[in-house]
Structure 1
Amino acid sequence: MRHLISTACLAIALAAFPATAQNSEPQPQPVVDIVPPARDIEFPGVMTLEVDATDVGRAIFAMKQTIPVPEDARANGRFTVLYPQWLPGNHAPRGEIEKLVGLTFSAAGKALAWQRDSLDINAFHITVPQGVREVVANFQFVSPTASNQGRVVVAPSMMNLRWNNVALYPAGYFARNIAVDATVTWPTGWQAGSAMRAKRTTGSKVAYERVDFDTLVDSPMFAGAHFRSWPLSDKVTLNVVADEAEFLAATPEQIDAHKKLVAEAEHLFGVRHYDRYDFLLALSDEMTGIGIEHHRSSENGVGTGYFTDWAKGPGSRNLLPHEMTHSWNGKHRRPQGIWAPDFRVPSRDDLLWVYEGQTQFWGYVLGARSGLFTYQETLDAFANIAAGLDARAGRNWRPLIDTAHDPIISARRPKAWASYQRSEDYYNEGMLVWLEADQIIRRESGNTKSLQDFARSFFGGRDGDWGVVTYELPDVVAALNAVLPYDWQGFLQRRVYEINVEAPKQGFALGGYELVYAAEPSAFIKSGEAASGTTDLSHSVGLIVAKDGKVSQVMWGSPAFEAGMTVGDQITGVDGRDYSGEALKTAVAATTATGKVGLLVKRGKRYRETALSYKGGLRYPALRKTGQGETGLDRLLAPQTR
């Protein structure tokens, strides 16, 4: 009887809940991309682009763009235009399509219907009636007025005009095959710097030389009321715009260091992959900083004290050497997966440890050789970088190659556990890999060769060629073997593609130095703390703390981590006294005797007392020389020109 009741209950249950097969189940439909793919053919006609950049107060750019309609688009009645999405140098889709507003299309004064593509939100399909040979686009770019909206590109006395923000382009063509005539109306009295040259000026309206759309996007502009230029060579110019004129007070010695940078870079690579090169540098506390490479210019924004606070430390002076190196590495020679025919094709960033890593390496080398960094500042920077990478607990699960995808994965959003998540480590760890490669070549060749031989052969070529030559990993390995036969494939496999629980420091050892820790911070670390307003105890208790006591980083697995601390905590007291950076340092220094640091910590509206269990005292990274006389690292950093 018990069995029969159970069977009846089961029948009732099945009736109440129909079988899964009876539910409605959709099936996927094929996704059809109707945006024309880029073809390597000439675009018929010339686009004209007029930019009104005078609305500084509201930071709004207004555009009128005239685009010829190709014959095939006229035939099918639909013309597709694109907004740049995958931006060179960003290694990720950074186009700010959300800031493009007020978009209208017309022909002969009559409005045209348009529709955004449902698959690609950066594509717009325009209905073109018979006889329409060109369309006129009117739109605005509402640039950020505060940092929580994105990067601020307009300040009261300067702006950064980025063409990818203010221009559309026709789908179906390589960007290099689309000709553009661009004009800009600047605020009255402002001057502008760019790799593009003016061909006609009428009042505040400047018409620039005709370029292809690829070159246009690769030629940003800095403009401002306080502007100054210095020639650094027959082909290179330093253009600087500042919040106030007083920040442009560069000394002859400072300009000479920049001239030496150009001379050292051109000596290093042996050829110039530009017909001209313009450093674009903004000194501002109001416009957001930036560091982006271009083939014939930089695009850099730093603090106002670049010249006036020169004696306080190197600050951001490794930025320009890095960006200029990109003219050879990253722009002329470019990984095949990063080069793209237009700004719609996704970037494949696997070789960023070459593109950015070796650029970081040469950037620091050129900084030292030119005098923008002193020799000791360079050693101290290397020590700080290596120690920071050593402290990344994420090394246990994430190899260097995987960090090359971080621009797409995290889009440089803040990370609560950066030491465990890792970040764009292909820059600095890539630099250490190339430092080791340089020292291997020096050792194996008896100091007759170095990575400079690789740089000249791999990044060289025809002088003045500012086209693009792509490469893959086998090309890198072959070029290294051409300099010096060695197991470079195995070396790169171990350093880049496999898990390494320690940062690659063998380059230091081969170069006659070792990473050590001292109780006193180097001048480099002190200047960095002063500039950032932080107290860096990442190599002792595992904390980086802002001036107000707010915790900005907690190292995974550190004493602070084990005590339950996290990013956003605020330290209000140290060992029974009010918080200050010096009080925290004093307490950490005393741990050699006390074995702990007592903290009062606020999280949200709650307070708690906690103790960091630690006995090591203050620890700061440094490089100590182990070799005798001139070592391999000494030779690497020594000036090469007189």
Structure 2
Amino acid sequence: MTAHAPFRFAARTASGLALALALAFPLRAAVPAPADRPYPGTIVLKVDATNLAQQIFRMRMTVPVSPGPMTFLYPQWLPANHGPSGPLTQLAGLKFTAGGKPVAWTRDPVDVFAFHVTVPDGVTTLEVQYQFLSPLDPAQGRVVMTDDILGLQWPSVTLYPAGYVARRITVQPSLTLPAGWQYGTALETAQRTGDEVQFKAHDLETLIDSPLFAGRHFRKFDLDPGARVRVSLNVVADNADSLEAKPEQIAAHRAMVQQSLKLFGSHHYEHYDFLLALSDEFGGIGREHHQSSENGVKPGYFTDWARGEAGRDLLPHEYAHSWNGKFRRPAGQDVPNFNTPLQNDLLWVYEGQTQYWGSVLGARSGLLSQAGARDALASTAARYDNVTGRSWRAVQDTVNDPIVAGRRPLAWSSYQRSEDYYAEGALIWLDVDTRIRELSGDKRSLDDFARAFYGIGNGSMRPVFYTFDDVVATLAKVQKFDWAPFLRARLDGNGPGAPLDGLARAGWKLVYTETPTDYIRNAEERSKVADFSYSLGFAVRADGGVSNVRWDGPAFRAGLAGNTTIVAVNNKVFKPEVLKAAVKASKDGKAPIELLVRKGNNLRTIALDYHGGLRYPRLERIPGTPDRLAAIYRALK
């Protein structure tokens, strides 16, 4: 045995050296880099979306090939998702055949979105079969197929050859729908035979960026009658009654289109299709595309119109993305295919400014009243003014959140911070807008930036990429000012408090009162959640489930966490109104509010030593100042 010891020592040394080298030089994926050359031939992709009962999409691809090694990619970095969120776990049943004979595949050990095959000699065509097992319930992901509605996102059902830039790959797609269903999409239809729809051939980049909504109950509205460039609202719903839109409601959507065209002074689509799902079962969504957008809301969008305005900035937000995010794109989004990582450093422009335009265009078009837009702004200002995570994490860093957190729920969102570049970004752009107005004597505004930055190349769809310096230079052309340090201070600073200078410059200030605004009241009714964020420091569902505990708020300091249920308040069975009454009563007393709470199988009592009463945010005019917010929300002539 001792005679073999040197050999064992040498073997251990060699394996240790190999491990050290592997750690120093990580394995690389054996995936061909994308080259700007045309893929030889047209890929045929057929999607069968008729299996509503099991919510399964079935695909068959016919791919022109040449003998030798070949790699197929499943899209990982999806447009508008800002992170590597391709639903790879739902791809199943992958099989390659040539001439009826199976062709083996192996997954790349480093890049698991890549599949390697060796095309046999003499083979010119590969047949590929696979399924997309769409989520059966929200715990598995967003539901995209129900008995009445389906949403087809092409990245979920598409494989493509590595080694080519996406726009140089041509795909001929077709879709088989459930019997009698209608659909909306930005794709051009070649022909429909029964329930099979064949679309015109498109490059892969256009295909991936052109989703489809289809449904048993469908209605299409023309949002720009008589215009040379069509804009359509395609609506699917759980039932036919939800499709009953009143003329004045459609008029507001038409006004939104006109206000957008006046704002940007251009268009960058051959036609535009809003895809709108009204459903309790189909997953909610708001996602931008160059010539369309996916929008999923509750069924009462039209039929409960009078009950509240919250959420009506969704369609103007996604529409504005056709200019900001799709036509003008951050330079870090200039990638050759859907498996190349995106850089998100300018999402505070891409999403933050679009968030701002969503509310502005909503108010200018009448989708929102000025009062409703102000109430929504008050809620945003209050939320970000109470983000304690600002003490350690700047808003600029939150652009990485779609990658870091993968849009999963967070235990302590006020401290961890989430994708704050959206709404806090909008506050920064309000700051910019009001600063331009102030410096120019109210002769210029962010509207002028929009026309200068997005209005170029009217009618062109070719993306134009921008950098931070491009944004600063265009702002300086609109209004002379040292914009770079102005922006960097707000993006890289650590607070305290949200950037509310723009609100004050607009002639308004954030205050708290004991009475909720209509915006908050309607939001509570819709969500069945009572919001005590600015009093006790948490929100609570009707069943007592606690959520959104504010870091270092009264409830946090008393030891409350989000995985807790309130059973009783001051020895009375919990109801939201019982807790509200207790908060009101505590304002005039010294005794703490006692909560009996359950966490798992354990019960305990928490004492909240809070006496500030109910607190809800709203905006209040600053006397003697110009009301620039009214000017911002005023419709363009």
1:37 is aligned to 2:33: yes
1:28 is aligned to 2:21: yes
RMSD between aligned residues: 1.4
SS in structure 2 of the partner of residue 590 of structure 1: helix
Shift of 1:339: 2.7
The one-letter amino acid paired with 1:425 is: D
Q: Which residue of 1 aligns with 2:502?
A: 507
The one-letter amino acid paired with 1:98 is: T
- Once the two structures are aligned, what percentage of the paired residues are identical? 48
1:533-552 aligned within 5 A: 533-552=528-547
The one-letter amino acid paired with 1:496 is: L
Shift of 1:33: 3.0
The one-letter amino acid paired with 1:157 is: D
Describe the superposition over 1:286-312 as per-residue Cα deviations: whole angstroms up to 9, x where unpaired: 111111100000101111111111111
1:267 is aligned to 2:258: no
Q: Which residue of 1 aligns with 2:8?
A: none
Q: Check the 8 A contact 1:570/1:602 in 2, yes or no.
A: yes
Describe the superposition over 1:189-220 as per-residue Cα deviations: whole angstroms up to 9, x where unpaired: 10010001211111100101111101101000
Stretch deviating more after TM superposition (110-119 or 555-564): 110-119
Q: Check the 8 A contact 1:517/1:621 in 2, yes or no.
A: yes
1:378-389 aligned within 5 A: 378-389=373-384
1:298-309 aligned within 5 A: 298-309=293-304
Distance in 1 between the 2:320 and 2:16 partners? 59
Q: Which residue of 1 aligns with 2:6?
A: none
Instruction: With the length of structure 2 as denominator, give the TM-score of the two structures.
Output: 0.95
SS in structure 2 of the partner of residue 241 of structure 1: strand
Of 419, 431, 447, which aligns to 1:424? 419
Q: Which residue of 2 aligns with 1:600?
A: 596
1:615 is aligned to 2:611: yes
Distance in 2 between the 1:206 and 1:24 partners? 58
Q: Which residue of 2 aligns with 1:128?
A: 119
Shift of 1:24: 4.5
Q: Check the 8 A contact 1:442/1:450 in 2, yes or no.
A: yes
Q: Check the 8 A contact 2:223/2:257 in 1, yes or no.
A: yes
Q: Which residue of 2 aligns with 1:55?
A: 51
Q: Which residue of 2 aligns with 1:586?
A: 581
SS in structure 2 of the partner of residue 292 of structure 1: strand
Shift of 1:446: 0.6
Describe the superposition over 1:276-332 as per-residue Cα deviations: whole angstroms up to 9, x where unpaired: 000000001011111110000010111111111111101321110100000000000
CA distance 1:23–1:470, change in 2 (3 Å) = closer
Distance in 2 between the 1:417 and 1:139 partners? 39
Shift of 1:56: 0.7
SS in structure 1 of the partner of residue 310 of structure 2: coil
Distance in 1 between the 2:58 and 2:407 partners? 29
Distance in 1 between the 2:125 and 2:334 partners? 30
Q: Which residue of 1 aligns with 2:556?
A: 561
Describe the superposition over 1:328-369 as per-residue Cα deviations: whole angstroms up to 9, x where unpaired: 000001111123110011111111100000000000000000
Shift of 1:628: 4.6
Describe the superposition over 1:6-29 as per-residue Cα deviations: whole angstroms up to 9, x where unpaired: xxxxxxxxxxxxxx9999553223
1:312-327 aligned within 5 A: 312-327=307-322
Shift of 1:484: 0.9
Of 366, 370, 381, which aligns to 1:371? 366
Describe the superposition over 1:541-600 as per-residue Cα deviations: whole angstroms up to 9, x where unpaired: 101000111101211111101110000211111112111101111111122212431211
Of 212, 219, 233, which aligns to 1:221? 212
1:242-641 aligned within 5 A: 242-595=237-590, 596-628=592-624, 631-641=627-637
CA distance 1:323–1:23, change in 2 (3 Å) = closer
Describe the superposition over 1:54-93 as per-residue Cα deviations: whole angstroms up to 9, x where unpaired: 11111111111011125xxx3xx11111111100100001
Distance in 1 between the 2:21 and 2:77 partners? 28
Stretch deviating more after TM superposition (349-358 or 607-616): 607-616
1:69 is aligned to 2:60: no
Q: Which residue of 2 aligns with 1:10?
A: none
Describe the superposition over 1:90-127 as per-residue Cα deviations: whole angstroms up to 9, x where unpaired: 00011111111111111222221211111111111111
Say how many residue pairs are matched.
617
1:187 is aligned to 2:187: no
Shift of 1:421: 0.6
Distance in 2 between the 1:24 and 1:543 partners? 52
Q: Which residue of 2 aligns with 1:4?
A: none
Describe the superposition over 1:121-158 as per-residue Cα deviations: whole angstroms up to 9, x where unpaired: 11111111122222111111111111111111101111
Q: Which residue of 1 aligns with 2:138?
A: 147
Q: Check the 8 A contact 1:160/1:223 in 2, yes or no.
A: yes
Distance in 1 between the 2:413 and 2:279 partners? 28
Q: Check the 8 A contact 1:50/1:182 in 2, yes or no.
A: yes
Instruction: With the length of structure 1 as denominator, give the TM-score of the two structures.
Output: 0.94
Q: Check the 8 A contact 2:514/2:616 in 1, yes or no.
A: yes
Of 72, 78, 102, which aligns to 2:93? 102
Distance in 2 between the 1:187 and 1:268 partners? 40
Distance in 1 between the 2:335 and 2:87 partners? 19
Stretch deviating more after TM superposition (129-138 or 320-329): 129-138
Describe the superposition over 1:249-271 as per-residue Cα deviations: whole angstroms up to 9, x where unpaired: 10000000000000000100000
Distance in 1 between the 2:394 and 2:335 partners? 26
SS in structure 1 of the partner of residue 312 of structure 2: coil
The one-letter amino acid paired with 1:380 is: D
Unaligned residue ranges in structure 1 (runs of 5+): 1-19
CA distance 1:21–1:163, change in 2 (3 Å) = closer
Distance in 2 between the 1:630 and 1:517 partners? 22
Q: Check the 8 A contact 1:199/1:208 in 2, yes or no.
A: yes
Distance in 2 between the 1:373 and 1:40 partners? 45
Distance in 2 between the 1:200 and 1:380 partners? 48
Q: Check the 8 A contact 1:50/1:184 in 2, yes or no.
A: yes
Q: Check the 8 A contact 2:29/2:109 in 1, yes or no.
A: no
Shift of 1:458: 0.9
Q: Check the 8 A contact 1:91/1:338 in 2, yes or no.
A: no
Q: Check the 8 A contact 2:310/2:376 in 1, yes or no.
A: no
Distance in 2 between the 1:627 and 1:213 partners? 56
Q: Check the 8 A contact 2:42/2:63 in 1, yes or no.
A: yes
Distance in 2 between the 1:35 and 1:447 partners? 55
Q: Which residue of 1 aligns with 2:189?
A: 198
Describe the superposition over 1:594-623 as per-residue Cα deviations: whole angstroms up to 9, x where unpaired: 243121111111111221011211111111
SS in structure 1 of the partner of residue 300 of structure 2: coil
Q: Which residue of 1 aligns with 2:129?
A: 138
